[in-house]
């Protein structure tokens, strides 16, 4: 074979490999939220390890934009999708489209609407068990402060993860004898909104002894509200998720507990699941990751530090 022929053959092989390389699309509800950026980091990191191309979209918290993103991804010829849905109720039409195209999808953080089965995997936190554990811990801290009244800063309750958190928490409050006096749902997952909501519940219930946060910004906002009122430590704060900011507040004693949710880990595991589907390997449809409690006294233990590295990337801040 001539040199020219050899070069031509090599180029053809490279083109064939490039064409065969699989692409995973990550569709986030909003990339303005750190949590979804950290899921993206996990998806991108794992895609690189698996030799996949990576593209990302943001749905801007709009079901219509989310569907547009799905169609755009399919037009680009993606092999698989990892999605944090805008809401669980927004998923049925997406699943119908992807089933027709035989494109695997793994949900991260938020699962599909109850009753849906045509998806590869839902990699979420073990929200129900975490809700129970967090509710019990919140109640214990409230009673240690001389009362049983607690309030909740909640995620939107049209999300299946929020519904599971709520179910678990309510069961614990009933069993442990605490009174959930008010629930406020977030609309934008911002710290300023959480500050306003925390001030509202503290004004409405001056005998409040603890605040249950379903998400990171809830705890940050509640901590700021308590600090302004001179109530730091007098009203307990416990939250799910975890970030450099809440870890700092935990070390300072402004937050009493964090149930760590693996944002990066969910991205990693969801990408692994769709890759397995494409490779005709076994997949796990319901993959609920544990959310361990960390406190001021346990945050520096090796197990907690290992878990933190699956919560947020090193670029986000210190552990």
Closest alpha carbon to 168 in 215, 131, 200: 131
Rounded Cα gap, residues 272 and 166, in angstroms: 29
Q: Find the helix or strand (DSSP H, E) in which 143 lies.
A: helix 127-144
Q: What is the dihedral of CA 43, 44, 50, 54, to 10 degrees?
A: 110
Rounded Cα gap, residues 46 and 226, in angstroms: 40
CATH number listed for the domain at residues 21-125+263-289: 3.40.50.2300
Domains 21-125+263-289 and 127-261+294-316 are alike in CATH topology: yes
CATH number listed for the domain at residues 127-261+294-316: 3.40.50.2300
Query: What pLDDT is recorded for position 72?
Result: 98
Q: Average pLDDT for residues 240-247, to the nearest whole number?
A: 96
Query: What pLDDT is recorded for position 49?
Result: 97
Structural domain spans, the chain: 21-125+263-289, 127-261+294-316
Edge-to-edge strands, sheet with 105-108: 53-58, 23-28, 80-83, 105-108, 121-125, 286-289
Rounded Cα gap, residues 108 and 40, in angstroms: 10
Share of the chain above pLDDT 90, in %: 90
Query: What pLDDT is recorded for position 291?
Result: 93
Rounded Cα gap, residues 273 and 43, in angstroms: 11
Query: What pLDDT is recorded for position 2?
Result: 56
Q: Average pLDDT for residues 164-176, to the nearest whole number?
A: 97
Rounded Cα gap, residues 47 and 36, in angstroms: 16
Read off the pLDDT band of 8 (50, 70, 90). Answer: very low
pLDDT at residue 247 is higher than 80: yes
SS3 99: helix
Rounded Cα gap, residues 103 and 17, in angstroms: 20
Tell me the C-alpha to C-alpha distance, in Å, between residue 165 and each of 57, 110, 127, 198, 212.
Answer: 27, 12, 5, 19, 10
| Residue 261 φ/ψ, nearest 5 degrees | -110, 130
pLDDT at residue 9 is higher than 60: no
Question: Alpha helices, DSSP H only, in 177-298?
Answer: 191-204, 216-228, 244-252, 263-278
Query: What pLDDT is recorded for position 160?
Result: 86
Closest alpha carbon to 95 in 66, 75, 124, 123: 66
Phi-psi region at 199: left, alpha or beta (left = phi > 0; alpha = psi -120 to 50): alpha
Average pLDDT, the chain: 93
pLDDT tens digits along 15-56: 343 447 899 999 999 999 899 999 999 999 999 999 999 999
Q: CB within 8 A of 313, min separation 6: which ones?
A: 38, 41, 264
Closest alpha carbon to 26 in 43, 46, 2: 43
| Residue 237 φ/ψ, nearest 5 degrees | -130, 130
């Amino acid at each position: 074979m001539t040199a020219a022929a050899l070069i031509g053959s090599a180029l053809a092989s490279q083109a064939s490999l490039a064409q065969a390389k699989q692409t995973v699309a990550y569709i986030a509800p909003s990339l303005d939220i750190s949590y979804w950026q950290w899921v993206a980091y996990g998806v991108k990191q794992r895609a690189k390890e698996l030799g996949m191309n990576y593209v990302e979209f943001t749905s801007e918290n709009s079901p219509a934009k989310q569907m547009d993103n799905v169609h755009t991804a399919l037009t680009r010829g993606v092999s698989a999708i990892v999605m944090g849905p805008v809401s669980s109720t927004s998923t049925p039409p997406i699943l119908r489209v992807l089933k027709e195209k035989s494109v695997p999808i793994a949900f991260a953080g938020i699962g599909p609407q109850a009753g849906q089965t045509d998806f590869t995997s839902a990699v979420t936190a073990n929200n129900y068990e975490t809700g129970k554990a967090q509710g019990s811990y919140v109640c214990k801290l409230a009673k240690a402060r001389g009362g049983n009244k607690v309030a909740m800063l909640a995620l939107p309750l049209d999300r299946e993860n929020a519904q599971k958190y709520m179910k678990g928490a309510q069961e614990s409050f009933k069993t442990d004898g605490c009174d959930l006096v008010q629930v406020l749902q977030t609309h934008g997952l911002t710290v300023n909104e959480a500050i306003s909501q925390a001030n509202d519940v503290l004004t409405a219930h001056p005998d409040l002894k603890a605040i249950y946060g379903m998400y990171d910004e809830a705890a940050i906002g509640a901590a700021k509200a308590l600090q302004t009122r001179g109530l730091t430590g007098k009203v307990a704060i416990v939250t799910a998720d975890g970030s450099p900011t809440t870890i700092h507040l935990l070390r300072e004693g402004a937050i009493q507990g964090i149930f760590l949710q693996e944002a990066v880990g969910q991205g990693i595991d969801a990408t692994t699941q769709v890759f397995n589907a494409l490779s005709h390997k076994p997949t796990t449809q319901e993959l609920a990751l544990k959310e361990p409690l960390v406190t001021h006294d346990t945050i520096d233990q090796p197990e907690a530090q290992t878990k933190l590295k699956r919560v947020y990337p090193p670029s986000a801040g210190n552990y």
